[in-house]
Amino acid sequence: MNQEQQSALLRSASRFPIPTGAKFSYGTSGFRADASLLESTVFRVGILAALRSIQTRSVIGLMITASHNQVSDNGVKLADPSGGMLTQSWEPFADALANALHPHSLLQLLVDFIKKENIVLEGAPVSEVLLGRDTRPSGETLLEAAKQGITSFMGTTASNMGIVTTPQLHWMVRAKNKGIEATELNYYDQMLTSFRCLLDYIPQRDSTQNVSDKLVVDGADGVGGEKLENLKTRLGYLTVDVRNCGGGVLNEGVGADYVQKEKMAPRNFGPADAGMRCASLDGDADRLVYFYVISNSNKIDLVDGDKILSLFALFLKEQLCILNGPNDGKACNSYKASLGVVQTAYANGASTDYLKQMGLEVVMTPTGVKYLHEKAAEYDIGIYFEANGHGTVLFSDAFLSWLEIKNQELTSTSQDSDQHKAALRLLAVSRLINQAVGDALSGLFLVEAILKHMRWSIHKWNELYQDLPSRQLKVKVVDRTAVITEKAETKVVSPAGIQEAIDAETDKYPKGRCFIRPSGTEDVVRVYAEASSQEGADHLANSVVRLVEQYLGFGRS
């Protein structure tokens, strides 16, 4: 690094001192903290983004959001050239940068890392970082700090995409690196064109069962609701009533996280909506759950990420079967596409059983999108979802190339055949659903298109299988990092003996299942329990909380 560059970095770093006593860690989804503590961190993540862009010679994304957390929090995370999460191998360096106490120690870290990674600064092509933020008021100042970090590497451009959903920014990064136009308008055009395409190929059947054309959406008073509101006139048959789209406090009694965890109707929803098909987005619109309000109450029946996954799996499997014809892949000129689903331990056991009964390969990974995404990318069609509503469908390049050719062939030989329609539907899904990351907006349009295709009400969809009763609790302990897990977080290896105690407790309950894991976003240990009855699940969860306290020291929250 030349002298001029070093001085530029030292100068800008001295304007962003780290708050006394603060300790930052690039967790499951980047850095998160009270917004007032984050300026130095966001500045440093700006530096990190610039460096990553220089190293990969590609566009990188920097998103300022704290997702479903309270409005006074904020956070920052990076999108890699593929549009996915920052490579895990850079996370320790991100931690070190964020915690370097003085400008000189920051510079030393950078010099050492650049050397270790063989990053060539001089003569590198122009690098670029796309910046986005959610609707949090603190986002504006933090975005400025990010710009300062990015541009303190000479020759790096910071392009502000403004207020966008997290998945929109990831989509833009991916598109830009593929040489595709990557504006917000391009994003909507691609999504809505493929949505309409799916609708065009809905089979004409005689049926009295028509799906309601009305959907009510809880926008969490965040960015997703605002974006959806602006799309309302472009949705054809679908009438969307967007509530909580910016007038109230972000994530307060609203949003996908609230709805999924509390199983209660969000603010501005109530008994008058009983039976309506409703959806809820989280604060940065990368999570989606559906629900309907139960008559005369504020309680809901939740249709969570597991059911969205099951709906997608059912539809895609059906299209693959039609495409491959009666020989199921053995016909000449067919492609035996691998279809796999990826879940975490939080997936309801009934969903996993259902997917296995469908003959699908189900794989479990630890919690966190980066793990699920990586696994799903191993399939021709990889569907991943967390129960909390974050997920998407990934298509392999090899399968998509084959599908394009197959589609051309069918266009000339058997247009209007079922096979041709199946090919067109699969291509449309691959363009509709965000290939970079889970996306509540594109997920919502895929759900809507499939329900219309199947002529299913939300109730019918919910009946695919019945969730086993479950309970989630959290425990405050002295040191949550003392909990070490394996087998996709289903077994604890440390502290010694606790797993045996959990197993002995779980064995007491019919269909009992229970696991504990340290949270990646809060200073707590989480407990998940499932059993054949709600009382059983509650009881099991509470007993395991006591075990956690016993083995790890007190402090329940």
Catalytic residues: 67
CB 56 within 8 A of CB 87: no
The runs of H, that is alpha helices, within 284-341 are: 305-324
- Look at residues 285, 372, 381 and name the one whose alpha carbon lies nearest to residue 337: 381
159 binds, among Mg ion, ligand 16G, none (CB under 5 to 8 A by kind): none
Under rule CB under 5 A, residue 127 binds Mg ion: no
204 burial type by CB count under 10 A (0-12 exposed, 13-18 middle, 19+ buried): exposed
Task: Output 27 or 325, the one with its CB closest to Mg ion.
Answer: 27
Among 5, 25, 28, 457, binds ligand 16G (CB under 6 A): 28
Task: Return all residues near 556 (Cβ < 8 A) that are at least 6 apart.
Answer: 475, 476, 545, 549
Task: Output 54 or 173, the one with its CB closest to Mg ion.
Answer: 173
Q: Least distance from C-beta 90 to ligand 16G, angstroms?
A: 16
Of all residues in the shown chain, the one whose CB is closest to Mg ion is: 67
The residues in 495-534 that bind ligand 16G, with binding defined as CB under 6 A, are 519-522, 526
d(C-alpha 498, C-alpha 380), whole Å: 39
284 binds, among Mg ion, ligand 16G, none (CB under 5 to 8 A by kind): Mg ion
Residue type for position 367? T
- Three-state DSSP class for residue 365: coil
Q: How far is CA 42 from CA 39, 56, 128, 256, 284, in A?
A: 5, 21, 17, 26, 18
Find out whether the peptide bond into 495 is cis, omega within 30 degrees of 0.
Answer: yes
CB 455 within 8 A of CB 205: yes
Task: Output 107 or 483, the one with its CB closest to ligand 16G.
Answer: 483
Among 286, 306, 386, 467, binds Mg ion (CB under 5 A): 286
With CB under 6 A as the rule, give the number of residues binding ligand 16G: 14
Among 39, 80, 282, 505, binds Mg ion (CB under 5 A): 282
- Look at residues 137, 201, 168 and name the one whose alpha carbon lies nearest to residue 61: 168
Q: Contact region for Mg ion (CB under 5 A) — 124-132, 274-282, 374-382, 540-548?
A: 274-282
- Structure tokens, 329: 């892949």
Beta-sheet strands, E only, within 70-221? 73-79, 127-133, 156-163, 214-218
Task: Output 281 or 369, the one with its CB closest to ligand 16G.
Answer: 369
Read out DSSP for 494-552?
ESTTHHHHHHHHHTTSTT-EEEEEE-SSSSSEEEEEE-SSHHHHHHHHHHHHHHHHHHH
Among 40, 67, 190, 490, binds Mg ion (CB under 5 A): 67
Under rule CB under 6 A, residue 29 binds ligand 16G: yes
Task: Output 218 or 380, the one with its CB closest to Mg ion.
Answer: 218
Task: Output 67 or 156, the one with its CB closest to Mg ion.
Answer: 67
Q: Least distance from C-beta 65 to Mg ion, angstroms?
A: 7
Task: Output 39 or 282, the one with its CB closest to Mg ion.
Answer: 282
Q: Contact region for Mg ion (CB under 5 A) — 60-68, 242-250, 472-480, 520-528?
A: 60-68
282 binds, among ligand 16G, Mg ion, none (CB under 5 to 8 A by kind): Mg ion
d(C-alpha 88, C-alpha 162), whole Å: 27
The residues in 356-415 that bind ligand 16G, with binding defined as CB under 6 A, are 367-369, 386, 388, 390
480 binds, among ligand 16G, Mg ion, none (CB under 5 to 8 A by kind): none
The residues in 80-99 that bind Mg ion, with binding defined as CB under 5 A, are none
Q: Which residues bind ligand 16G (CB under 6 A)?
A: 28-29, 67, 367-369, 386, 388, 390, 519-522, 526
Q: Which residues bind Mg ion (CB under 5 A)?
A: 67, 282, 284, 286
